[in-house]
Structure 1
């Protein structure tokens, strides 16, 4: 199978250094996680759906393109309002996953509902990301799947127009997306689904709660009252309007800037009731020396210019690890960040990459199987490699606020979830006031 995404040109970038506290109000596009789930649910619903203020970035554009390949009408012409009209799913089709875990783990179950073969492939690194538990579950439901030599990409799902569903036992300790990928398509399974997780704790629990809440909002019957067991009843789900929240993970490096510089950053349009783990983030930022408030202006983080070291289990918010590790490197004492061994299987081995790159700028970082121990030292400039990982680029930008001469080998990787990142970041540091 020869399908591979064209190699994206590398974009070196000098991280701007802040000469004074940043004070800005920022408007960010929608949550990647919510946008991806809304697209999948809209594709298998009865009736049209709209996504209001979705995220337009590489991951969500590829998800939209993959659903179009399966016959779904997805219009993204209007930046603020995407329209999805479901159609009978069909193959043959090809889905380019890029480097997106949401696509490679959410779309195969949908492909099983199509009539005909559906192939999947993506960036070279995507072929190393784990898929085994998801593919084993789908195979146990009667689907024929041809996968790569290690049960990874490239793969072909031979859709028959229906998936039996039923009960399955999986180990989802490597990714909550294995469970979400099964649950999202399960209303269309003949027998629905019962997923039982057996193994170490499932990481990123808030993402699973988001999946369950969005299924219920679409009309699905979901029971998650038993720990590590999720039941979705078979039945029709309805097209609807989805209001996509601003992306909390994308906001974290901007909030970190407030702590590093002793400034203030407000994220506008933040809802008072959120599907994202905002309470966990607020607690972490407060412990690291920030003041966090939510009012009619939005979600605001203020810093004193002194970052405090912490000990924290980040299992529920592992996506935040790179930015928090960067903060920890600038703190007034050591930090221990743990519970995130599974991020070794993300866009890159994030723990190894952070230890290597932060260490290269002068920090003392001790890598463990599930986390990092960070001892701040005087840092210096140098090249920070991003490994095509948007979150690594965010970490480097945070360091660059306080350390002159930090050079990212590639800032273009931020297009995965926030193409506007370099411009937004530079405008914030330059004192843009309101940044959009």
Structure 2
């Protein structure tokens, strides 16, 4: 049995950084992810005047319930969507200050409009400097009273997460009615983490679509970051593809992250899955069945499945993943493009992709600077030696040592 220790969750680390910065007191984040995205988030907090002390095993953040210490700041969000969406929301709650946020060309293309329109509805003085609904933007902070909002989170659950985390920092709290929501398990992460920092959000209304967030702020805590379930998907898929066995400790029955449900997809394809309270094991004979699967709630693992789909005995159809078109790149089309260049028959629609069985040939993967495209096709490379990447280094976004770790893992599988 091969045991793989996966780095900390990007999603959990980003939320923990926001909550710790907003909390009353000093929080300790244990085993946070150290990557380009999370370091960019911490750098942004520092620019806003928060005290962040990174360490090898834990980061300490001294919270400021009243908002940023800096009254003027220019924050560069790099490629990080959580940084680009969460930090402006945090800064907007401050009592006073003028803050400019910008990001990479890749992040500038990604949409912000549902979030920034919601902030404007709450009275925030916010101006997009170039394309409306995109970075760069400027915020003139003067505190937020709170109130009621209607939000469409059908493009990204991060819009809802940002507003939920904002709620306790407003004077009166927030009531948010959600008309559409993608990647719903990420909201469960947010609610559970807010609870750990002392805030209980209530849900009600038709379909539990109304979220009521009380005012009163957060309390500091020590918070352990669980391993990244999206990253674990590459190792689970590799075991299923190569007829091997892998165990990832730290991700078990009590895990926060919905992307761990990817192992249920592998189970449907013929793999064995065993889950305990604190670990998950996938084992396989290497035979994979085709299937049709809705991945709306676990869409970050769509490229993982797409990359191993040609090796299944029947077609693999992935549905309800339209939101993957507005990630770091159009992931749905990027997967289709690369698979076709590998000689695989692929058809796509607005929110679906269908992949036929075949024998992929090696090619250079066009990554579009997207870490998940690289890591997904690294799994396919276990059965198709010779695959290369036009930008292998983009994995630094979430897993800087990916190539080294995955190569060592592949050696163990072949050992």
Asked whether the two chains share a fold, i.e. TM above 0.5, the reply is yes
Name the SS of the counterpart of 2:237 in structure 1: helix
CA distance, structure 2, for counterparts of residue 269 and residue 135 of structure 1? 36
CA distance, structure 2, for counterparts of residue 351 and residue 411 of structure 1? 19
Cα RMSD after superposing both structures? 1.6
Name the SS of the counterpart of 2:153 in structure 1: coil
Determine whether 1:223 maps to 2:202.
yes
Residue-pair matches, total: 408
CA distance, structure 1, for counterparts of residue 259 and residue 387 of structure 2? 30
Q: Which residue of 2 aligns with 1:156?
A: 138
1:271 positional shift: 4.3
Answer whether contact 2:371 2:394 (CA < 8 A) is retained. Answer: yes
Residues 433/232 of structure 1: CA separation in 2 closer, same or farther (3 Å cut): farther
Q: How does 1:207-222 map to 2 (within 5 A)?
A: 207-222=186-201
String of CA shifts for 1:25-76, please: whole Å, max 9, x gaps: 1111211111110110011111110111110111110111111111111111
Q: Which residue of 1 aligns with 2:113?
A: 132
Answer whether contact 1:45 1:237 (CA < 8 A) is retained. Answer: yes
Q: Which residue of 2 aligns with 1:301?
A: 282
String of CA shifts for 1:98-148, please: whole Å, max 9, x gaps: 121111111111111232111111110111101001101111111111113
CA distance, structure 2, for counterparts of residue 329 and residue 224 of structure 1? 42
CA distance, structure 2, for counterparts of residue 347 and residue 94 of structure 1? 23
Residues 274/116 of structure 1: CA separation in 2 closer, same or farther (3 Å cut): same
Q: Which residue of 2 aligns with 1:110?
A: 90
Determine whether 1:414 maps to 2:395.
yes
Name the SS of the counterpart of 1:319 in structure 2: helix
Q: Which residue of 2 aligns with 1:13?
A: none
Determine whether 1:97 maps to 2:48.
no
Match of 1:426 among 388, 407, 410: 407
Q: Which residue of 2 aligns with 1:15?
A: none
Answer whether contact 2:229 2:260 (CA < 8 A) is retained. Answer: no
Consecutive unaligned residues of structure 2, counting only runs of 5 or more, are none
Q: Which residue of 2 aligns with 1:75?
A: 53
Match of 2:102 among 99, 115, 121: 121
Residues 296/346 of structure 1: CA separation in 2 closer, same or farther (3 Å cut): closer
Name the SS of the counterpart of 2:275 in structure 1: strand
CA distance, structure 2, for counterparts of residue 364 and residue 225 of structure 1? 45
Consecutive unaligned residues of structure 1, counting only runs of 5 or more, are 1-22
1:409 positional shift: 1.1
Determine whether 1:385 maps to 2:370.
no
Answer whether contact 2:230 2:260 (CA < 8 A) is retained. Answer: no
1:279 positional shift: 5.9
| TM-score, L = length of structure 2 | 0.95
CA distance, structure 2, for counterparts of residue 339 and residue 375 of structure 1? 18
CA distance, structure 2, for counterparts of residue 280 and residue 370 of structure 1? 20
CA distance, structure 1, for counterparts of residue 103 and residue 307 of structure 2? 29
| TM-score, L = length of structure 1 | 0.90
Residues 212/296 of structure 1: CA separation in 2 closer, same or farther (3 Å cut): closer
CA distance, structure 2, for counterparts of residue 126 and residue 270 of structure 1? 30
CA distance, structure 2, for counterparts of residue 283 and residue 251 of structure 1? 13
1:225 positional shift: 3.1
Q: Which residue of 2 aligns with 1:268?
A: 249
1:432 positional shift: 7.8
Determine whether 1:277 maps to 2:258.
yes
Name the SS of the counterpart of 2:204 in structure 1: coil
